[in-house]
Structure 1
Amino acid sequence: MPHRPGESACDVLIAGGGPAGASAALALLRQGASVVVAEPGRPRGGWKLGESLSPRAEPLLAGLGVRDRVAAAAAHIPYFGNESAWGGSALVDIEFLRDPHGPGRHLDRTRFDSVLLDAIREAGARHSAFPVRWPRRLPGHWSVPLGDETVRARYLIDATGANASVTRRVGATLRRDDRLVALAARLPPPRRARHDGSRASLVESVPLGWWYTAPLPCGAALTMVMTDADIAARLRLRDPEVWWRELMATTHVRARLHPGTRRPPDRLRIVRASTSRTLPAAGPGWAAAGDAATACDPIAARGITTALATGLTAAEAVAADAAGDTCSLGGYAERIEAVHTEFVHAQALCYSAEKRWHTTFWTRRQQDLAAGRPHTDAGTTVPRD
């Protein structure tokens, strides 16, 4: 593909270098494609909430050739299972001891993402620190400005996360099914529990939503409450003092706190955590992967695994299209829609199992999800930026 000064060319431009983007890049590089990954990185001091990797991700990491790299990162710690008080006051254990892939991992996300980015660079991908903002479709390729350079790419893959910023600009529609938010803090190390080092995650449902806590490799504990944005606003949960009072009203999450933790955090991290999907998830010359394709309520605990899987599948669809299979991208979009529909049904069953609370958060889900309808926002369509 001839190009002018200030231009470069590649087979695939991937927007986003997290698990979905890295998975897609590694799969495409193995097939001989030239790949540019546009990953500007996070602002200094930022941190991600996705910190747990289930055993189901191990075969994906192995297939991508990065399992040993991830295992060698001493920053990660074993993830032995989940405990939950859901539908009743007693804790129920789900352990990974019998899983054929062994325990999961509580991740240092910064280190995990860095390992993946190093792997794609070493495999031959070119990294750009500029975001993809204005892709323009031309005959046979995309023209994408990245800083002072313009990249001509035959395909685009959007791995920018739940905002799906690239696919919305090429004509897809992002639909959010709810207004779920996470209000999170890092607290001192958890109290030792039944699992060695309290290395199980813990979920506890409460009238306003549900709480989650898990250990982090840095020695802290991630603790967060999940509720709808309007409920958080009404209860003033953005105020650390109010958040702390609600935490103190829990039973099991409070029991996990370090004995010396007696005051609220200085600040909270507030993140949208809604269930969403992009319609369609692929089109001529492009595909979405990870949360940009389908984002799940965190109760599913499968965000990173889904990101790896959809990145790999998106890459396969792009490669097949390049080889002449004109149905591959449409088939990928149909698979994403089927995956999302399956999750919504499982989500409905999960929330319907908690019958103790007759509050706004729970009645929204039990009434609407049981009928197979999106709840709260009735399928909000997000406009383009």
Structure 2
Amino acid sequence: MTRPRHSPDVLVAGGGPAGVAAALTLASRGADVVLVHSAPEPGRHVLESLSPLARPLLRGLGVLDRLPSACHAPCYGNQSSWGGPALRSSDFLHGPYGAGWHVDRAPFDAALRRAARAAGVRLHAGRVRSVARHGSRWRATLSGTVMTAPYLVDATGARARLARGLGARVVHTDHLVAVTAEAPVVLPVPDDPYGTRGGPERTSLVESTPFGWWYTASLSHGRHVLMAVTDADLVAGAGLRTPEGWWAALAATRHVRTRAAAHRITPPDRLRVLPAGTSRTLPPAGPGWVAAGDAAAVTDPIAARGITHALATGIAAATALTEEAEGDPRAPSRYAALVDAVHDEFLRARAACYRGEERWDTPFWTRRGTHGGVTRQAAGATPGSSR
């Protein structure tokens, strides 16, 4: 049967993990889905960690074996210096799902879209510029055409462009940024979890500092990523506006500096400043539409759960639309309540994590309530534990 080219059952705006997860889930249930995607913004994504918990989600979507090794490097665990100078380690090797990944987002997202196309999702290059309700359908103006559909998924990222156009608002908890640089890895030794053989460590490393915290990890095909994370209004005071100041701040660390030296990393020529703040969209769903991934809620990168959250909300969003199409008008509100509950739990875990660092009476930490006493539970929280 030939389906109307410009009248799918569901229009998904956004070709990242959330949009693809929603599209694949809907297509597997027989829906005609158009996935609208645009070229990635240069420098928007440098590196993201993928928790082992994402593996069953990818497997369930039928894409785990379709992701080429060129788009990810193994992550065997986390190392952190948080709440004290010592370096603590946690590994994934003995967990039920195996290693995590350090993901290079552009090729990762492209591989996901290829898998969606193979599953029958129709891809449309461009951007949804506006949507409006016309009777029982959405009328979407796209780059170069107009489409109508009874159901809509907003997976446009943290700006939640479509949801805001429908009356939702984005509420920010903070304005965190990551000041980032890439460098080549000089000594590539594969599968060396903690760098014991002189090669690049296949772990992520987090080290707290008075202005915030540092993150570093090795990517595939000879690259290393380092990022200083702080509030946007503290960047200048921390000296992070210039490569020279950023390098001086790195030199003041203990563990990140050691890893950079081991990889013979030299001062960067340029920096990228990426938004990394926490926010949520209210509401994240309504009759005939749902927001997924960052368009629903954005989490602090200290939790390393962005892609996992995107996949999970994409699947849940598709389920909500399916249930609504089958006659349950309350499905979008149940999905919205789920997103809100998960985000509230994340905020509690994040607060516990930040309260675990009490060494500095500086603006970054006092804003996060790290002084005035720490509970036993909060003191035990570590970066990555709020996934």
> Pairwise mapping of residues 40-55 of structure 1 onto structure 2 (< 5 A)?
40-43=38-41, 46=43, 48-55=45-52
- Contact 1:12 1:157 (8 Å CA) reproduced: yes
- Contact 2:79 2:89 (8 Å CA) reproduced: yes
Residue 369 to residue 317, structure 1, CA distance change in 2 (3 Å)? farther
Q: Name the residue aligned to 1:297.
A: 300
Q: Name the residue aligned to 2:61.
A: 64
Q: Name the residue aligned to 2:184.
A: 188
Q: Name the residue aligned to 1:313.
A: 316
Deviation at 1:247, TM superposition (A): 0.5
Give the partner amino acid of 2:30: G
Q: Name the residue aligned to 1:161.
A: 157
Give the partner amino acid of 1:63: G
- Contact 2:186 2:264 (8 Å CA) reproduced: no
Q: Name the residue aligned to 2:12.
A: 14
Q: Name the residue aligned to 1:267.
A: 270
Q: Name the residue aligned to 2:384.
A: none
Report the 3-state secondary structure (helix = DSSP H, G, I; strand = E; otherwise coil) of the residue aligned with 1:326.
Answer: coil
Deviations 1:325-345 (A, max 9, x none): 111100000000001100000
Deviates more, 1:311-320 or 1:234-243: 234-243
Give the partner amino acid of 1:289: A
Q: Structure 2: give runs of 5+ residues left out of the alignment.
A: 375-387
Q: Please give the alpha-carbon distance, in whole angstroms, between the structure 1 residues aligned to 2:372 and 2:107.
A: 37
Q: Name the residue aligned to 1:131.
A: 127
- The count of aligned residue pairs is 365
Structure 1 length as normaliser, TM-score?
0.90
Deviations 1:212-264 (A, max 9, x none): 00001131111001000000133341211111110110000011114574642
Structure 2 length as normaliser, TM-score?
0.90
Deviation at 1:114, TM superposition (A): 1.2
- Contact 2:238 2:249 (8 Å CA) reproduced: no
Q: Name the residue aligned to 1:112.
A: 108
Q: Name the residue aligned to 2:383.
A: none
Deviations 1:97-137 (A, max 9, x none): 11111111222322211110001111111111111121111
Q: Please give the alpha-carbon distance, in whole angstroms, between the structure 2 residues aligned to 1:369 and 1:167.
A: 39
Residue 190 to residue 250, structure 1, CA distance change in 2 (3 Å)? farther
Deviations 1:290-336 (A, max 9, x none): 01101100000110001000000000000000000111100000000
Q: Please give the alpha-carbon distance, in whole angstroms, between the structure 2 residues aligned to 1:368 and 1:117.
A: 46
Give the partner amino acid of 1:18: G
Give the partner amino acid of 1:90: A
Deviations 1:127-168 (A, max 9, x none): 111111211111101101112211001111111111111111
Q: Name the residue aligned to 1:284.
A: 287
Report the 3-state secondary structure (helix = DSSP H, G, I; strand = E; otherwise coil) of the residue aligned with 2:215.
Answer: strand
Report the 3-state secondary structure (helix = DSSP H, G, I; strand = E; otherwise coil) of the residue aligned with 1:278.
Answer: strand
Deviations 1:72-104 (A, max 9, x none): 434432210000000010000010111111111
Deviation at 1:204, TM superposition (A): 0.1
Identity within the alignment, %:
50
Deviates more, 1:327-336 or 1:129-138: 129-138
- Contact 1:81 1:201 (8 Å CA) reproduced: yes
Report the 3-state secondary structure (helix = DSSP H, G, I; strand = E; otherwise coil) of the residue aligned with 1:198.
Answer: coil
